[in-house]
């Protein structure tokens, strides 16, 4: 279940005796590497306390839609953006009905309306309530909206009845959650991704670099693996842990990354250049540390580095080649010029002048630019954004 590693799961707990199992669900999700936050309905708090789930998740439990402290910063919207998956377990018959109707009368239903990524519900109710035509109609509505229905199980129930409606066991729920991230849309394909910054040495202790964290490239590597692709991650220096199924190739300078990229092109179907590669490097690298002098200035001659993504796009056979354009002004214009100048199939443009997205942030907002069209993807977590990008790339190859 490695596909849950680093995933952000927002666990919604609705009212019902099965709410006590939410504690084990949290533990099982964490065992598989997921980050977990919890939202509880008022009815859920009658069965298990927020303090219990706070202690287990390590995060404050959210209970109120109109919490003045949280809503000063639009807390429910931030929560909805944060999550890769919104899992409601247990999901009562009442909650399923309100979700199907599109209600937003409490925090959990409001989050479902504001959440743009995957939603899953694990039903738990009496067997007669489960079999009721109204419940089945509501479930059919949710399935048409691509809400995943996990379970239920059948057996003895707390009320003494026997039949379907029991909450699926936590281990099975977590297995289903992991499966939701496995799309298979790039089965049999090889994806090569560059990520992070490069470092261009001035002397043995100093270098020229940039603020790239590598988060977008690493998120794309995870998304490519979820899609079934053989994934090669060529990474500049970062503090990130690479996905364990990706083949990591370490690079420091632009020249290192250029050589590694060309070496990786054999059988490459998709090349995604997210790395922030230095355009220039010092013409000469001092063998010893450069000492400070009495002069108020120092001249460093720079020479141009090889253009990695252009070299990949010129390769025969050419992989589907995706470039990134991190700009501070005229974002669309510069990105489209890059698309045309370098013969790319797609450019992902983002405005790095905005402090809350882009470099070092966990979120981004981008514009996808193809030769004949454009598409805006709104601000969201980089892991969610990565899955959206992989989905669109896979559609181009289908």
Q: Which residues are marked as active site? A: 159
Task: Quote the CA–CA distance of 263 and 259 in Å, as a whole number.
Answer: 6
Other CB atoms within 10 Å distance of the CB of residue 54: 15
Task: Quote the CA–CA distance of 53 and 50 in Å, as a whole number.
Answer: 5
Q: Where are the beta strands (DSSP E) in 117-184?
A: 118-123, 148-149, 153-156, 162-166
> Which residue's entry shows tokens 């025969």?
316
- Write 202-207 long-range contacts (CB < 8 A, 24+): 202/282, 202/285, 202/286, 202/290, 202/300, 203/285, 203/286, 203/287, 203/288, 203/289, 203/290, 204/286, 204/287, 204/288, 204/289, 205/289, 206/289, 206/290
Structure tokens belonging to residue 120: 């899953």
- Cα-Cα end-to-end distance for the chain: 27
Beta-bridge mates of residue 166: 153
Task: Quote the CA–CA distance of 91 and 183 in Å, as a whole number.
Answer: 25
Beta-bridge mates of residue 347: 323, 369
The helix (H) or strand (E) run that includes residue 345 is: none
CA 3 to chain centre: 11
φ, ψ of residue 6 to 5 degrees: the values are: 70, 5
Exposed / middle / buried, residue 148 (Cβ in 10 Å: 0-12, 13-18, 19+): middle
The helix (H) or strand (E) run that includes residue 7 is: none
Q: How many residues does the chain have?
A: 398
Query: ω into residue 90 within 30 of 0, thus cis?
Result: yes
Q: Which residues contact 183 (CB under 8 A, 6 or more apart)?
A: 226, 227, 228, 391, 394
φ, ψ of residue 192 to 5 degrees: the values are: -110, 130
């Amino acid at each position: 279940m490695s596909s849950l590693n680093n995933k952000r799961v927002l666990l919604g707990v609705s009212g019902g005796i099965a709410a006590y199992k939410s504690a084990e669900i949290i533990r099982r999700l964490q065992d598989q590497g997921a980050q977990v936050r919890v939202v509880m309905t008022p009815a859920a708090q009658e069965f298990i306390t927020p303090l219990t789930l706070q202690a287990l998740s390590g995060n404050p439990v959210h209970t109120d839609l109109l919490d003045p402290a949280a809503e000063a910063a639009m807390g429910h919207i931030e929560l909805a953006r944060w999550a890769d998956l919104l899992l409601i377990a247990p999901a009562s018959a009442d909650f399923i009905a309100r979700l199907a109707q599109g209600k937003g009368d409490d925090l959990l239903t409001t989050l479902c309306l504001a959440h743009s990524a995957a939603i899953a519900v694990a039903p738990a109710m009496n067997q007669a309530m489960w079999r009721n035509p109204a419940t089945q109609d509501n479930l059919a509505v949710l399935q048409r909206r691509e809400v995943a229905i996990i379970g239920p199980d059948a057996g003895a129930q707390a009320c003494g009845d026997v039949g379907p409606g029991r909450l699926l066991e936590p281990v099975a729920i977590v297995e289903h959650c992991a499966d939701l991230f496995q799309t298979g849309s790039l089965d049999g394909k090889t994806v090569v991704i560059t990520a992070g910054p490069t470092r261009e040495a001035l002397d043995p202790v100093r270098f020229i670099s940039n603020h790239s964290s590598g988060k977008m490239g690493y998120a794309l590597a995870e998304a490519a693996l979820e899609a079934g692709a053989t994934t090669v991650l060529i990474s500049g220096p970062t503090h990130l842990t690479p996905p364990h199924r990706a083949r990591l190739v370490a690079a420091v300078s632009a020249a290192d990354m250029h050589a590694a990229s060309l070496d990786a092109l054999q059988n490459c179907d998709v090349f995604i250049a997210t790395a922030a590669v230095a355009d220039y490097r010092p013409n000469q690298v001092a063998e010893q540390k450069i000492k400070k002098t009495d002069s108020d200035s120092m001249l460093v001659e720079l020479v141009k580095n090889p253009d990695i993504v252009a070299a990949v796009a010129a390769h025969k056979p050419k992989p589907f080649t995706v470039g990134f354009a991190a700009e501070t002004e005229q974002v669309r214009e510069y990105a489209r010029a890059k698309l045309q100048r370098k013969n790319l199939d797609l450019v992902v443009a983002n405005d790095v002048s905005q402090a809350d997205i882009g470099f070092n942030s966990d979120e981004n907002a981008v514009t996808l630019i193809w030769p004949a069209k454009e598409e805006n993807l709104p601000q969201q977590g980089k892991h969610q954004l990565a899955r959206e990008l992989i989905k669109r790339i896979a559609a181009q190859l289908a």
